[in-house]
Every structure is written in C-alpha cells, then in structure tokens.
Chain A
Amino acid sequence: MKKRLMALMTIVVIAGSACSNTAAPASSGAAASQPAASQPAAASAATATKLVVWARNYTVEAGKAQPWAPDPKAKLEAAHPGLTVELSGATSGDQFNRIELSQAGAVADKPDIFQLDNIWLGQFVDEGITANLDSYYANWADKSDIVPAYAESTKVKGSQQAVWFYSDIRMMIWSKDVFKRAGLDPEKGPATWDELMADAKAIKDKVPGVNPVEFPASSEESTVDRFYSYLYMTGSNILNADNTKAAFNDAGGQKALQLYVDLVKQGYAPKAVLSETADDIYPHVFSGKTGIMLATVGDGLGSLPDGFDVSKFQSTIGAALPPLCSGCQPATTAGGWMLAINSASQNKDVAWEYISAVTNGANMVPFEVERTRIPVRTTGLAQADAFKADPYFAQEAEAAKVAHFPPFIAKYTSMIEILWTGMQKAINGDLPVKDALDQAAADVDTLLAP
C-alpha cells in the first residue's frame, strides 16, 4: 500500500514538474524571469531590480565587440546598487515576435528596453508598445550629435519614440573585373542613369554570359528596400506627408520603376530578377556573373564570401551612391536598428540612462567597426581612422547625409507586399508602369483607410 502511495506521489510530482517545465518555452526565447514591469520603480540598495533588455543576437555575441557591455552595463550596475541588467539576444524574426507576443500576454516577462528594426516602429507605436520619449529628448545633451538626416526619423506622430542605435546604407556596387572585361574604368561606377545604360550596353556587348545589371524583384522586402533610393532621388515618396495615402505612383515613382522595366526590356537585366532577392544577387557580383547591382546594403565587409579579405574586396568590388537621373537629387535609403523603452516598463529612467550610455558615439564605434555598421552620430562618422578597414566608409558616410527612411506605419509589411506585387506586374510586362503603380496605390489607399 505504501509502495503504491509512493508511486502515486511520484507521478504527481513528475506531472507537476513537467507542467512547470512546459511553461518555460511559452515564456519566449528570452531568459525566463520575473515580470520586469512588476519590479520597483527605482533601484536601491534595499531592492533588487532587473533591467530586462531584448537585443539582436549579434549585439550580445560573446567574444565580439558588444555595445551593451562591459562598460555601460558595469557602470550602470555600479551606479545603481541592486540593479542587474539582463541581456538576451534573438534573431530578427524572433525579436519581432517576442516583442509582439509580450503585449499579447503570451509571455510572462516584458522587456524594459528592446531593439527594433526601424520598419517596425510605426506598428509598435500604434500598438502602444513604445514609451513616449519626448521628456527625455528634451534634456538630452547628445541629441545634437545625431546625424541630421536621422534626427527626425525616430519621431512618430510628432513624438520621439526611439533612439537610433546603428544604421546601414544602400549603395550601388559593381564588379571591377566585369568592368575591366567590358573596357570600362573599373574604379568609376555609373554616376547617372545615362551612364548606367551605357555601361550596361558595353557589358552586354563585350562580356557574354554576364548579366550587365541586377536588382532584387522577388516577393520579399529587399525588392522595395533597394528600390526606394531610385524613388527618393526623383523627389517622389512612398506615402504622402501624413502617411495616409500612397504617393509612389506619381511621376517620380513611375520614372523610377520605368528604369527597372527598361533594363529588363533592353536585356540589360534578366527577367530572373523576379525570383531573386538581394542576397541572391550579391554573390553574382562577387563571382563576376553580374556587372552592376543597383543597390545593396553597404556593409560589404560584414558579409564577405569565403576567401575574401579587405584588399580582395576592394580590388573586386566598387561601391558608390546609386546613380542619378537627370534633374534628380542624390538620395539613398537607410535601414537599421533603434532602441525603445517599453511603455509598460517600471524602470524608464534607468532604461533611458542605459540607452544614453550605450548609444554614445564613442561607445558604439568598436562595435560598428567590427560589424561594418554606419554610425548615426556625427562623432562616430567623424572617426574615419577607426573605420579605415572599410574601403568605402567615406562614400557610406556621405550617403548617410542623404539618407531617407521608409514610412513608419503599422501596416508597413502589408503595404510593401502590395508595392512589390505592383512592381513585379510592370517588370513582368503584365501591366504598363503607370497602371501597375496606380493599381498598387489604390490597394494601399484601401489598406491605410481608417
């Protein structure tokens, strides 16, 4: 009898512990913890406070330069006895999901600080996830250090909602080997659309088996992201000023998409671009199978193929701002990562203190150099010596000054699907450029309608 009772109790204990274990995965990939929001407001020696930070995985990678630690973390913990900074990293998709799900009550803990892709900002603001940072910005001495092109882009609906962390810039790249074989100057990429067409023709005529030009046009984000620079330079925009209606179908937008269509029609770009992402095209340029990639993330050193070092990169690849159309203004697109404070955080003051320390220009540089990211502080951009390993840092720094950003709206991911579908219809020859963009614009207007 006793034995059976023991067996019964063992079963109950095992079942109980199994249930508690099964709850762990549901609490997200973040380190399981007590809800940060329930922690006391201010750190003190008497109370243990945890500052929960949800970051991207590579910013907390052991053995690499980290912006979070050791210095900023150690100093913050020393200044606030009882405070522990808890960092956890996630891939891009997981980061988005865990932030979203933390609001849905699906995970027990919420972050105090979280890192977000700039294209998520509108959605997070709409969902009330981000704290309004206007009061912090008002007294922030480092505010003037933010690169002017970036300064206003953390504002949504007139209020500061995030702090820029680091950036990446879209640049045109070309294969110097292909240029040499086509009899072109390998050190000089096309600066205008006319030069682009002339260079493409030269490559097509003289280097058989090579795609003169490529750009991503498949069903994913890089299609629109790499297109924006050409749209912005015409003076067009993605949405109107208050982000309520599509603007990409205006004359400038049509002109930009017509460039893509013309490149395919004239055989300078293969129709296969419709199934290619930016990541697919990048190795084509490195292997000399493609002459010019219209736009890519300008962090070539961060994703060098095997066997490439800096000098081989420089001798193989050229990089410059996207070529300009007649009467257009230099422009490029910037992406990147920001930091925000959770609106539900009970530790906003200390969270802001940590963000200020982490994003400081001097603190960020070692990380940005190692990962070839673009600084968003003028003090960072000024440190050309630190970035000397990047042969195109000077061009990237110039590009940062004319950077544009996609609109930070809640329905951004749905909107870009409509846009890339419209682009594909025009490139595939299913519809004229104007009709394809008008149709996409009408769908976007419907999507954005209140």
Chain B
Amino acid sequence: MAHRALSRATPWLLLILPLLLLFLFLLLPYLLTFYYSTTGATIGRLLNVQQVGLKNFQAVLSSHAPSFLSVVGITAVFTTGTLVGSMALGTGLALALHTVSAGLRSALLAVFLIPWVIAAVIIGYTWRLIYDPAIGLANSALEPFGVAPVAWLTEQASAIAALVIANVWAGYGIVLLVVSGALANVPPNIILAGQVDGASYRRIVRRVILPAIRPTFLLAGLVALVSGLNTFDLIYAMTRGGPLYQTETVALEMYRLTAQKGNVGQGAAVTVILFTVSLALAVTYVIIWRREARKWN
C-alpha cells in the first residue's frame, strides 16, 4: 500500500523543485505585476501600498506626454518592420543556405547566428555608433556618393527605420534557425519531383518548399512578432525613446514609468497591457496552428 502511494507520489516529488522555481521566477512576478497595476506602488514603497483600482490604466491611457496612442502606433510600426524584415532576411538566408553543401551550410549558419547571440544592448550601442552623424560608418559609406550627412536618429521616420534595421539584424537569427530546421525536414523526393517536372528553383520554393514549411513560418513569425513587441534594450541603447518621444514603444514606456519615474503602479499597468497583447497574439497563433493542423491531418 505504502509502496503504491510512494510510486504515485514520486513524480510529484520530483516536480516540487522545478514547480517551485517556476512559481518563484515566473508565476509570482506575473501575479505581482497584476497586483501592482492596481496599486499606487512606487519603487521606494512596494509594501503596504494603497489600492487604486483601474486608475493606473486610466492614467496611462490618457497620458499626453507621450500619448499612449502614439506609443502604440510607434510600437506597431516598429514591430511590423521587425516582423517583415526578420522573416524576409531569415527565410532568404535559410533558403540560400539550403542550396549549399551540408558542411558549408553548418559553418555559414554558425556565422549568421552570431548577431542573435550578442546581447541586444551591445548591438544597440554598436548601431548607435554606426548611425553617428559625425563619425558613424553609415554616413562614411554614403559620403563617396555625395550624400550629405544624415541625422539618422533625429527625424522620426529615419529613426524608426534605423531601429528596425538594427533589430532585424539582432533578431533574424531565430527565424533563420527555425526555418533552416524546417527545410532540413522537407522530403527531398518532392523537391526532386519538381525538378524532374522541369520547375525552376524559384518555382519549387514558391510551390513546394514554402507550403511544406508553412507551420514553421507561423512559429517563426510569432517569435519575431513578440520579439519586436517586447524589444526594450536595443531601443533604449539607441534612442531612449527620443527625441520628443518619437521612438517610444510600449516596452520603453514601461521602463520609463517604472525605473525612471519610480511609478511601479503605472509601469505595471503598461506591462499588463503589453502582456495581454502578447497573450492575444499567442492565442491567435494557437488557433491558427490548430486550424492548419486539422488540414494536414
């Protein structure tokens, strides 16, 4: 009897430690964030805080410096740019690597993944230097073509474009990795069949390979989307959301309110909003995935 009870309990006992760690470092911070979003907590006062209901959300949504709508708009543009750029670059490189020998592919893959393993803050400062109007590489490269020095990070359009380029460079690696993995699993016989039928490589990619890896695309797209949505360190290192809040995204707003202004309550409210959007995207992904999976089955 005792033997059976212990047998049943063993998996749970083994799970105690990971579950405890999961609770401490994942679930508890989530719960605390939700809790703090309804309080007047500040960075210097995290205990015995006053309950303020939804006032923090109201304050965030009605803020005018910057307006939350503008922050959401900038986030949407930046995220879309990151998504499109990362998917295009990552997939393009994966397809290009798919055409070379396995040995060379592994070596090149390792090289192309380097940006993905570098800390975003280092990438941010490096790109900031590249965009420096006086001594940066970007303007030096354009100078021989007679292009006047560009203040890349000063005007909103060029600043967001510059941030997107840097973030795509930082993040295309995950798309490359996921798509490369999927390409390795595409049955060679269907590609051969296409070649026998006289289809060009471009046509094979469009008609055979891409449809075969569509589920992976969904995953890579979601990862790129969420990474764009949550990017903080790179933007902070490059523009700090400025000038004039022209590059302020939701993630930066969260940091500015919490760490710079010490308004933990409002910062948590922004975090909850960002979390909800990310969750909605993830749920959408799961729904699409299941619908697609039904088709394949």
Residues of A participating in the B interface, judged by any CB pair closer than 8 Å: 1, 4, 7-8, 11, 14-15, 18-19, 22, 97, 100-101, 103-106, 123, 127, 129, 211, 217-220, 270-272, 274-276, 280, 283-284, 287, 289-290, 413-414, 417-418, 421, 424-425, 428, 430, 443
Contact = CB atoms under 8 A, between A and B. Distances in A.
Question: What bracket does the count of chain B residues touching chain A fall in?
Answer: 35 or more
B241 A219 contact: yes
Given A19-B20, A22-B21, A424 B244 contact: yes
A414 B243 contact: no
B3 interface: yes
Given A289-B134, A421-B65, A270 B243 contact: no
Given A103-B44, A219-B240, A417 B132 contact: no
Nearest to A102: B44
Interface of B: 2-3, 6, 10, 13-14, 16-17, 20-21, 24-25, 43-47, 65, 128, 132-135, 149, 151-154, 159, 239-245, 256, 259-262
Contacts of B24: 22
Nearest to B2: A1
A232 to B, nearest CB: 24
Contact of A421 (B45, B159, B239, B244): B244
B244 A428 contact: yes
A109 B24 CA distance: 21
The 9 A-B residue pairs with the shortest CB-CB distance, nearest first, are A219-B242, A272-B151, A275-B153, A274-B243, A289-B134, A104-B46, A272-B133, A275-B154, A15-B17
B240 A220 contact: yes
A127 B2 CA distance: 57
Contact of A15 (B20, B134, B240): B20
Given A11-B14, A105-B46, A284-B134, A275 B243 contact: yes
Contacts of B132: 280
Given A272-B154, A413-B261, A218 B240 contact: yes
Contacts of B6: 4, 8
Contacts of A270: 133, 149, 151
28 contacts: A7-B10, A11-B13, A11-B17, A19-B20, A22-B25, A100-B43, A100-B262, A103-B44, A103-B45, A104-B44, A104-B46, A105-B46, A105-B47, A211-B134, A219-B242, A270-B151, A271-B151, A272-B151, A274-B242, A274-B244, A275-B152, A280-B132, A287-B134, A289-B134, A413-B260, A413-B262, A428-B244, A430-B244
Contact of A219 (B14, B25, B134, B239): B239
Contacts of A417: 256, 260-261
Contacts, number: 113
Given A14-B17, A15-B20, A97-B43, 18 more contacts: A8-B6, A8-B13, A22-B21, A100-B44, A101-B46, A104-B43, A104-B46, A123-B44, A218-B242, A219-B240, A220-B242, A272-B149, A274-B151, A287-B134, A289-B135, A417-B260, A421-B245, A430-B244
Nearest to B151: A272
Contacts of A123: 44
B154 A271 contact: yes
Contacts of A283: 135
A443 B239 CA distance: 23
A4 B241 CA distance: 57
A284 B135 contact: yes
Nearest to A420: B242
A104 to B, nearest CB: 4
A416 to B, nearest CB: 10
A413 B257 CA distance: 11
Most buried by A among B21, B65, B151, B243: B243
A414 to B, nearest CB: 5
A11 B16 contact: yes
Contacts of B44: 100, 103-104, 123, 127, 129
B15 to A, nearest CB: 10
Contacts of B21: 18, 22
Contacts of A276: 133
A218 B243 contact: yes
Most buried by B among A97, A103, A272, A417: A272
A15 B16 contact: yes
A106 B41 CA distance: 13
B242 A424 contact: yes
A287 B135 contact: yes
Contact of A104 (B47, B153, B154, B239): B47
B57 to A, nearest CB: 20
Contacts of A413: 260-262
Contacts of B3: 1
A438 to B, nearest CB: 15
B134 A290 contact: yes
A40 B111 CA distance: 59
Nearest to B264: A104
B135 A101 contact: no
A422 B176 CA distance: 44
Contacts of A8: 6, 13
A23 to B, nearest CB: 9
A22 B29 CA distance: 14
B128 to A, nearest CB: 8
Most buried by A among B13, B134, B261: B134
B151 A101 contact: no
Contacts of A104: 43-47
A290 B132 CA distance: 13
B234 to A, nearest CB: 15
Nearest to B48: A105
A307 B259 CA distance: 37
B65 A275 contact: no
Contacts of A271: 151, 154
A279 B14 CA distance: 52
A14 B2 CA distance: 23
B50 to A, nearest CB: 15
A51 B14 CA distance: 42
Given A104-B43, A417-B260, A425 B17 contact: no
